[in-house]
Amino acid sequence: MVYDLSITNLEQQQPQFQDSEVPAFFKCPLTLEIMEDPVSLYTVSGHSFERSMLVKALDRNPYQDPMTGLRYGHKLTFGPNRSLKDAIEEWKQKTNYHSALIDSHVQRLRFGTAIAKEEAADALRVLARDKPEHRVTTAEAGAIPPLVNMLTCGTAVAKENTAGALLSLAVHVKNRVTIAEAGAIPPLVKLLTSGTVGAKEEAAAALWNLAI
Asked whether residue 122 falls in the same domain as residue 187, the answer is yes
What's the mean pLDDT in 134-157? 94
Asked whether residue 120 falls in the same domain as residue 106, the answer is yes
**5-19, 61-75, 84-98: lowest mean pLDDT where?**
5-19
Which residue range forms the structural domain that includes residue 83?
39-93
- Report pLDDT for 16: 57
What's the mean pLDDT in 78-96? 93
Examine the pLDDT at 7 and tell me if it is beyond 80. no
pLDDT band for 96, please (50, 70, 90 cuts): confident
154/118 Cα distance (integer angstroms): 8
Asked whether residue 83 falls in the same domain as residue 108, the answer is no
CATH of the domain at 188: 1.25.10.10
Mean pLDDT (the chain, rounded): 89
190/54 Cα distance (integer angstroms): 41
207, part of any domain: yes
CA distances, 93 to each of 45, 89, 97, 115, 145 (Å): 29, 6, 6, 29, 26
> Which of 60, 93, 126 is where one domain is finished?
93
pLDDT band for 11, please (50, 70, 90 cuts): very low
Higher pLDDT, 119 or 16: 119
pLDDT tens string 24-51 = 999 999 999 999 999 999 998 889 999 9
Asked whether residue 166 falls in the same domain as residue 127, the answer is yes
Asked whether residue 84 falls in the same domain as residue 101, the answer is no
Examine the pLDDT at 4 and tell me if it is beyond 60. no
